[in-house]
Structure 1
């Protein structure tokens, strides 16, 4: 099963954007993320609808952060993405006729629900500001200057 990495990618993009002195184009963000500008525009449009980013058209336009990093949590961004599946595991059959499989599904379903609730609670405690602060700590330790295009070197 393929993992859904949109949350990680969007958080990555938002932190890069916060470091930019001006708007970042979809093309620039796509190059940094190793994806297509159409994918960036689609994701960013959803974030714009929620008020997390804004876009400006024309020469010198692009995407900018429109939210307060102190107030926005990972849970907020997760919700804005449409609440993608958190866990890759699931039941073999959703409505089994076998009583053994029903017992297995009940136990797994309860455990999955608890794990998901805990994870979403944790997401609600982590702000974008906390991620940004961690980035700045790592940047200071490295002692370098990083740009959107060259930030991915080890």
Structure 2
């Protein structure tokens, strides 16, 4: 175990030589490629970052344009909606006015018809009363009677009129 704690100079020299040989070989064959690749990657990251910033600026411009167009569309939609409401109100007023005029005309026609029917009924009643009076008078004239018989004749005539 004591041998393990003592340094072996031969192995140490060989290890240092191997390390130096490895560094030399890496520098000769791989170092330039690795550095070139890292520089290329760094340049690509910078380019990607620049492109991302440009894309973000373009997206913001597009968003601003779309917001402006949306505002214009909203304004126009509100304007057209107001025009449609106004037109609807106008049509509503016209329809209501026409309906009111028609209802007044129908009421006037109904009143005229009722008045005509009333006049006709009164005329019929007057004619019937005149006929009844003439009939009663003729019957009274035909019979020169006493007051009792005249009353009975009037009652019969009234019953005849009611029967008709």
Q: Do the structures match in fold with TM over 0.5?
A: no
Structure of higher RCO (CA pairs closer than 8 Å, 6+ residues apart): 1
The alignment's TM-score, normalised by the length of structure 2, stands at 0.21
Q: Which has the larger radius of gyration?
A: 2
Would you tell me which structure has more helix in proportion to its own residues? 2
Would you tell me which structure has more strand in proportion to its own residues? 1
The alignment's TM-score, normalised by the length of structure 1, stands at 0.23
